[in-house]
Every structure is written in C-alpha cells, then in structure tokens.
Amino acid sequence: VDFEVVKNGKSILIEEEPCYTPQRGHFYVRTQKIPLLVGDQKEVKYLLCICDDITEQKKTKQKTDEILNQLKEAQSIAKIGSWSFDLINHHQVCSTEQYKIIQIDETVPHDMLYQHYCDRVFPEDLNELDYLAKQAKDEGIGFIHNHRLRMPNGLTKYIRGIAYVTKDDTGKPVKISGTCQDITREVETEQQSDFMLKTLGLGIWKFYPGENKLNWDSNMYQMVGLCERQLPDARRALDTT
C-alpha cells in the first residue's frame, strides 16, 4: 500500500488497520497516508502517516452490533416491530421487523411511512387509530389499539399497536415511540376457541385489564336471562344478577 501511495502520489485513508505488538497485543488504527510532494516533478520527498487508535471504538461498535442483532432476533421471534417519530424534525424510524410485519419496502421515504401504513388499515378501524394518533401528538396521551391490516396478498393481519409519548421540560410532546405486534395467530386461535364454546352453548366473558373493560358474549346474557340490547354494559349486567 505504501508503495502504491508513493507511486501514484495520492493520499489514502485506511479506515481500519489491524496491528500487533508483543507489549500491547492486538489493536486497531485508522491511518491517513499522505505523500509529501516537492519540486516541479512532484517528487515524493517522504510519506506522512497519521494514525488514530480506534480499538475502543471498534469494541463499542461490536457490542452495539451484538445488541442490535439480539434485538432484531427477539423482535422477529415475538413478531414485534418498533418505531419512533420525532415531532420536531418530522422524522420517522422503523425497525426491520416493523417493515416485515406491514410488508412495506424499506426504501419508502420516511415521511410517507404512516400514510402507507394507514393504506393497509381497515377503513372501519382507521378512524379510531387516526384519532388516537392525533391525541398522542397534540395532547401527549399514549395508547393501545388493536386493528386490522389488509395485506397485498388479500390476507388479514391483526395488529396490536402501543404508543408512548416523550415530552420536554415544558410538557410539550416531542417524540412518539411505539411497538407493532402481529397478533394474527393469537386472534385466530381465540376466534376458533370462541366458536367451539358457542357451539356447545357455553357462555364466554373477557376482561381487559389495560382498558378496564368487561365483555360478555350473547350466550352469557342468555344464561343470566338478560338482553344485550337493553343492557349492553356487561358490568351493569353483572350487578343485576
């Protein structure tokens, strides 16, 4: 390499060069090699080399890469993508798994990601999602929302979206971060179980701690002798039994 620099008379930058000495062992340097030219013939008088020890930087990068790879693997297994949106710079970043879940190419411009996502959401689910997103942006209120996506192959995916809001010292929202989990298998399994139980005439009720909400199916109302249309609030129905 040194001979090539002298021969061509052009400087080069070697980003990472492994080195070894018995005293220190293995380490890495970033090297700038500059030929110093003199005279009309541009003769190389000597070669100037500037070295920067990047061993610690390389170790830090390796650890960061390991953590990122572990995160990607964990997100892939759990089918959870992550994202963040900077409300000040209007810049959005998504994890690799997020792109996989919603089946959007990673080359899509950042300012178009949310629109592409909304194009996938079922129209009957989109209004509430838009309302919650606007509330998070304007009022700094996070949310949990389950919705459906219509995929390019015609299949439906069930998504659980969770959003968190970061505020500055004045309480103004500055960033929204969140996760996007593919819960399709969970929902489909639940639907199959519900169908089997209903076929057997069994009542089903579900309590959602995060929303503090209690839901009864029609069999539960029939079982206690109440009409769902007259008393749709399952908590009140429970108080009357």
pLDDT in tens, 150-179: 999 999 999 999 999 999 999 999 999 999
**Residue 232: pLDDT above 60?**
no
Find, among 94, 150, 105, 104, the residue nearest to 124 by Cα. 150
For residues 196 and 212, the answer to whether their CB atoms sit within 8 Å is no
The burial class, CB within 10 Å (0-12 / 13-18 / 19+), for 85 is: buried
Q: For the chain, what percent of residues have pLDDT higher than 70?
A: 85
The string of pLDDT tens digits covering residues 28-56 is 898 888 887 766 666 767 778 888 898 88
Can you give the pTM of this predicted structure?
0.55
What confidence score (pLDDT) does residue 229 get? 61
Q: What tokens were used for 39?
A: 């005279």
**Residue 104: pLDDT above 70?**
yes
Q: Alpha-carbon torsion 191, 197, 198, 203, what sign?
A: negative
Confidence at 9, pLDDT banded by 50, 70, 90: confident
The string of pLDDT tens digits covering residues 185-220 is 888 887 777 777 667 777 777 777 777 777 777 788
Distance, in Å, from the CA atom of 169 to the CA atom of 174, rounded to the nearest integer, reads 10
The burial class, CB within 10 Å (0-12 / 13-18 / 19+), for 35 is: buried
Q: What angle do CA 136, 138, 144 make, to 5 degrees?
A: 10
